Amino acid sequence: MTESTKPPLTIRMNDADNVAIVANDGGLAAGTVLPGGITLVDRVPQGHKVALRAIAKDEAVLRYNVPIGFALKDIAAGCWVHERLLHMPQARSLENLPEATRKIEAQEPLAGYTFEGYRNADGSVGTRNILAITTTVQCVAGVVDFAVQRIKTELLPKFPNVDDVVGLEHAYGCGVAIDAPDAIIPIRTLRNISRNPNFGGEVMVVSLGCEKLQPERLLPPGSIALKADEVLDVVCLQAEKHVGFMSMIDSIMASALPHLQRLNARKRETVAASELVVGVQCGGSDAFSGVTANPAVGFATDLLVRAGATVMFSETTEVRDAIDQMTARATTPEVAQAMVREMAWYDAYLGRGSADRSANTTPGNKAGGLSNIVEKAMGSIIKSGTSPISGVLSPGERATTKGLIYAATPASDFVCGTLQVAAGINIHVFTTGRGTPYGLAEVPVIKVATRTDLATRWHDLMDVNAGRIADGQASIADVGWELFKLMLDVASGRKKTWAEHWKLHNALVLFNPAPIT
């Protein structure tokens, strides 16, 4: 990779920081003189840290004014500060955390923003009009795939107002310890995915018959809004009436028909921006994630909260090192305690596998300049903006309140996305620095690139270029507003995301902390 020919540019996040990151494409060569007068001792790759002054052995390396590590040896000013020079701090104790201590001035409500959505009987609003076919067990996946293809080619053209047909396939349902305490997580996740606002309340189920997760256990009476005389719409493949494969396919298609008719009759109507339920996450992160894309998302998060919407941030291992900031931002001690409960549960979960939060960072994160999980976490939590945190969801629970919510999920992109779909999102915002083609069949995914280089190379995969912030071409507020308005356009169906355009759909991946049998 060739070094940049542009003037050297470094970004420091806080005046107290003793490191800054190199912004130039291709990095900067040894001998380059930075605007502050420091000469680079080493070549420093793009996104990596340079020491702004001499850092003594055992001294804290500060980024975001937080110790992201301690020097393993003396580091001279101008040196490349990489993960091999750092000792990672211990995780913050979960005892004696500040609870709801930070007084956050109420921000001015943001009125007048609307989108065109599908209002549902349960009060939620969809941004897409999709027929979802719930499955109770992985065994039926091949049959459901076959049926979905037939529905798409033979039925869907007759119902132009229906956007898509999606089989909700997964790896759960049988061969699992279904009575283990943690089995509630995958079960309620599947239940709440079936209730996602984009499916219009039209629940239909395909079951095998002999599986542990029986349809009435997945969707017990009262869990979906059925009319009084209605029974759960289930196609059971082992039912005696099915003679041969085509009988199963015909049965699924016949079952789909009335759902498609009802979905097709729906119309978009103008609703307030407060009906947005937005899930934010990052993946394939680099050192720019916390400088460009995530701050822009954080700005948009504050706009959403001001507009009365629901917005959730997640990724427990990337919140763990900032838990004291988060509990201080809680609206009540109860919300702070719920966050601590989720962190403690996750610490124990990781501990059962002889791992800890440091298992999070990837080779790509490190190549992108993120030395460890502490540095990654400080850049990740910026997506939550500055608003008070007013609610906490355990994995797989559905959001019932407005405002900024912490939805506890693993950081794994596809597991986090799956759990946010269960939490009821109708828009998903995803930031990436290294690049990922991530997408979901259930909910539109808006992807935000952290660097112009990525946004340029992946011009037909990235929806927003937050790299303009590092280039000096746009402010965090500019990109935040752009993203907010794009969310309203995408929610209204006026615009499609690149992942929708190419139909890039990741699998639903359930979080199952319970044993497999």
User: How is residue 150 written in tokens?
Assistant: 């037939």
Does 388 contact Ca ion by CB under 5 A? Answer: no
Taking the complex as a whole, the smallest distance from the CB of residue 416 to Ca ion amounts, in Å, to 5
When asked if residue 497 is in the footprint of Ca ion (CB under 5 A), the reply is no
Q: Which stretch binds Ca ion (CB under 5 A): 82-90, 277-285, 370-378, 500-508?
A: 277-285
Specify the pairing of strand 427-432 against strand 80-81: unpaired
Closest-approach residue to Ca ion (CB):
283
Among 283, 368, 439, 480, interactor with Ca ion by CB under 5 A: 283
Considering only 55-63, 218-226, 275-283, 361-369, which stretch makes contact with Ca ion by CB under 5 A? 275-283
312 touches Ca ion by CB under 5 A: no
Residue ranges with strand state E in 36-163: 49-51, 60-63, 66-71, 80-81, 86-87, 114-119, 125-126, 130-135
Should residue 286 be labelled a site residue for Ca ion when binding is judged by CB under 5 A? no
Q: Which is nearer to Ca ion, 321 or 413 (CB)?
A: 413
- Cβ proximity of 411 and 390 under 8 Å: no
Rounded CA separation 426/280 (Å): 11
Joined together, the tokens standing for residue 267 give 């119309």
Reading the block at residue 203, the tokens are: 């629940």
Report in angstroms how near the CB of residue 195 gets to Ca ion at its nearest. Answer: 23
Q: Near Ca ion by CB under 5 A, which window of 21-29, 52-60, 91-99, 411-419?
A: 411-419
When the beta carbons of 283 and 368 are compared against Ca ion, the nearer one is 283
Helix (H, G, I), strand (E, B), or coil: what is residue 75? strand
Q: What is the 3-state secondary structure (H, E, C) of 351-419?
A: HHCCCCHHHCCCHHHHHCCCCCHHHHHHHHHHHHCCCCEEEEECCCCCCCCCEEEEECCCCCHHHHHHH
Which part of the chain contacts Ca ion (CB under 5 A), choosing from 166-174, 176-184, 274-282, 329-337?
A: 274-282
Least distance (Å) between residue 342 CB and Ca ion: 16
Q: For residue 411, state whether it binds Ca ion (rule: CB under 5 A).
A: yes
110 or 509, CB closer to Ca ion?
A: 509
CA-based nearest residue to 198, from 148, 234, 162, 147:
162
Closer to Ca ion by Cβ: residue 417 or 467: 417
Asked if 290 touches Ca ion (CB under 5 A), the answer is no
Q: Is 429 in the site for Ca ion (CB under 5 A)?
A: no
Rounded CA separation 317/325 (Å): 15
Would strands 464-465 and 86-87 be described as parallel, antiparallel, or unpaired?
unpaired
Q: Considering beta carbons, is residue 29 or 509 the nearer one to Ca ion?
A: 509
Find the binder of Ca ion among 18, 129, 194, 281 (CB under 5 A). Answer: 281
Report the C-alpha gap between 163 and 160 in whole angstroms: 7
Report, in Å, the least distance between residue 411 CB and Ca ion: 4
420 interacts with Ca ion by CB under 5 A = no
| Cα dihedral value 251, 253, 255, 261, nearest 10 | -160
Residues at the contact surface with Ca ion, assessed by CB under 5 A: 281, 283, 411, 413
